[in-house]
Amino acid sequence: MPLPSAPTEFTLAEARDALCAKRVSAAELTAACLGAMAEARVLNAFITETPERATEMAAASDRRLAAGEARPLEGIPLAIKDLFCTKDVRTTAGSRILENFVPPYESTVTQNLWDAGAVLLGKTNMDEFAMGSSSETSWFKPVVSPWRARHSNQDVVPGGSSGGSAAAVAANLCLGATGTDTGGSIRQPAALSGIVGMKPTYGRCSRWGVVAFASSLDQAGPMTRTVRDAAILLNAMASVDPKDSTSVNTSVPDYEQGIDHGVKGLRVGVPREYRIEGAPHEIDALWSKGVEWMREQGADIVEVSLPYTKYALSVYYIVAPAEASSNLARYDGVRYGLRATDVHDVVELYEKSRAEGFGAEVRRRILIGTYVLSAGYYDAYYVRAQKIRALIAQDFARAFEHCDVLLTPSTPCSAFALGAKTADPVAMYLNDVFTVTVNLAGLPAISIPAGLTETGLPLGLQVIGKAFDEKLVLRAGHAIEEAAEFRASPARWWAR
């Protein structure tokens, strides 16, 4: 395949090879991305751009490349979700309460990336504290998707919460981005934005230095334009981290190796519960297509059942807010972050700082979480939710006795208009119906762009694997990518 004319259109793998072959310099690549970012500010994909740091890092990479000391991601410009703490670079979590917070430390995942030679372009916009499915709850205004329905000037959402990262990757503002996924926050925006997004197994990427939303569900992962790129990026992000007690002590394999070995003989499970009433027929149609692609490539299709799926959203909206209500207690105006003025005692300081600092969705989830943990409700909500969570994990374990991976739609719908669901939280929550189960079970899953709606908006398919079976998930994802031949990209309406 001939290389694209603009370096920003390189896949990460292409850029890596071009850099090593000295066909492009890190400085050129970074400058091209910074230029594209400047042109695309209307998308509001970034909260903070770091052009100076990017330029310095790229120059350092060029020196290493010249010296033949290139590391795996040498000179690759990346966008980082603003949930990862970056030393001396403002980290907001999309919230007013951290509007001016500059961490004196670097998250393990981003440190891994810099140690691999990557270049920081900036911090991407997101739903506040990663709570949302449209990237509209950000204190820094909504992210606008680079996609538009055919013949439409209507802005649509990129999905969320990692919507800034998704938009930046889809609009070719960077070669890859990090996201975090608590209930679908990587895979859902990836699906809605026509890119690849992967949530690894819980414990694969360190949570140290990532602003916590729901600790037992949060997991960082790559967002890229191809499955191979996701593998390359994940290789650099993943590590065993003694600073994170939930980091799992198992070595990181080479995810890229064997990615194109195909799915011949692979048993692909199709869970019947993922066919839901009222979903657009396009979703089902694409899913059937995906099954057909797998079959054509020699996979065995197995119908499986995940009977507790129907409780997953309810369980998720108990467990995640419960943990969030506790995790967000530290934002109290005492040590850092927004501090309300004109207060007379400590209770007023808390109340005003938090009321001014948190947006409506965050406040809603703190209230839900506080409620379900309260005396008298704890057993009825939190304890029951944990029991069902165990049953959901058991569902997957049983299904994986009959198959190697599962194939499902990524989302129940395509990108929707900005503001379309902000008034109806439950409608918004339904976006995660196909993704939350995976977080509850701690499994790895990937969303691959696989088709367009009739109006020309992207749709994704999801491959779910067993714990720490990322390699197989990537291999199956790669097979879908090959079969889908998804070549669509957003018209660059913002640059006109």
Of 25, 185, 247, 414, catalytic: 185
Q: Which of 175, 125, 129, 119 is nearest to 4 (CA)?
A: 175
**Residue 211 interacts with another protein (CB under 8 A): yes or no:** yes
Our finding on whether 316 is near another protein (CB under 8 A) is: no
Binding of another protein by 140 (CB under 8 A)? no
| Stretch of residues binding another protein (CB under 8 A), selected from 22-30, 40-48, 374-382, 443-451 | 374-382
- Burial environment of residue 345 by CB neighbours within 10 A (0 to 12, 13 to 18, 19 or more): exposed
CB of 131 to another protein, least distance (A): 15
For residues 425-454, which are near another protein according to CB under 8 A? none
Q: How far is CA 473 from CA 27, 66, 177, 232, 286, in A?
A: 34, 36, 19, 14, 19
Smaller CB distance to another protein: residue 10 or 202? 202
- Whether 264 is a known active-site residue: answer no
In whole angstroms, give the CA distance from residue 166 to residue 187: 9
Which residue number, 182 or 408, has a Cβ lying nearer to another protein? 182
Find the shortest distance in angstroms from Cβ 312 to another protein. 18
80 within 8 A of 110, measured Cβ to Cβ: yes
Whether 134 is catalytic: no
Question: Minimum CB separation from another protein for residue 463, in Å?
Answer: 26
Handedness of CA 464, 465, 468, 469 (dihedral sign): negative
One residue of 24, 78, 93, 170 binding another protein per CB under 8 A: 93
**From 2, 5, 52, 104, residue interacting with another protein (rule: CB under 8 A):** 104
Asked whether position 342 contacts another protein by CB under 8 A, the answer is no
Q: Which of 176, 123, 146, 170 is nearest to 15 (CA)?
A: 176
Instruction: Determine if 346 is a binding residue for another protein (CB under 8 A).
Output: yes
Question: Which of 48, 246, 455, 489 touches another protein by CB under 8 A?
Answer: 246
Q: Does the protein bind another protein through residue 103 (CB under 8 A)?
A: yes
Q: Among 117, 122, 114, 81, which residue's Cα sits nearest to residue 218?
A: 81
Q: Which is nearest to 268 in space by CA: 403, 95, 147?
A: 403
Max Cα-Cα span within the chain: 70
- Minimum Å distance from CB 186 to another protein? 18
Of 131, 153, 154, 155, nearest to 143 by C-alpha is: 155
Nearer Cβ to another protein (90/364):
90
Task: Confirm or reject binding of residue 107 to another protein (CB under 8 A).
Answer: yes
Nearest C-alpha neighbor of 453 from the set 415, 408, 400, 493 = 415
Nearer to another protein, 260 or 332 (CB): 332
HSE-CB at 496 with a 13 A cutoff on CA atoms is: 5
Please report whether residue 134 would count as binding another protein according to CB under 8 A: no
Q: Among 209, 269, 442, 490, which residue interacts with another protein (rule: CB under 8 A)?
A: 209
Which residue type sits at 80? I
Per annotation, catalytic residue among 95, 138, 161, 247: 161
Instruction: Give least dist CB 193 to another protein, A.
Output: 26
CB neighbour list of residue 454: distance below 8 Å, 6 or more residues apart: 282
Count CB atoms within 10 A of the CB of residue 10.
23
- With CB under 8 A as the contact rule, which of the stretches 91-99, 131-139, 293-301, 429-437 interacts with another protein? 91-99
CB atoms within 10 A of CB 456: 16
* Residue 6 engages another protein in binding (rule: CB under 8 A): no
73/114 Cα distance (integer angstroms): 8
Residue (386 or 453) nearer to another protein, CB: 386
Residue 25 falls in the annotated catalytic set: no
105 binds another protein per the rule CB under 8 A: yes
Task: Please state, as a whole number, how many other Cβ atoms lie within 10 Å of the Cβ of residue 149.
Answer: 17
Q: Which of 19, 118, 212, 433 binds another protein (CB under 8 A)?
A: 212
Give contact residues for another protein (rule: CB under 8 A).
84-85, 91, 93, 98, 101, 103-105, 107, 207-212, 214-216, 242-246, 322-323, 325-326, 329-330, 332, 334-336, 346, 350, 370, 373-375, 378, 382
The catalytic site residues sit at: 81, 161, 185
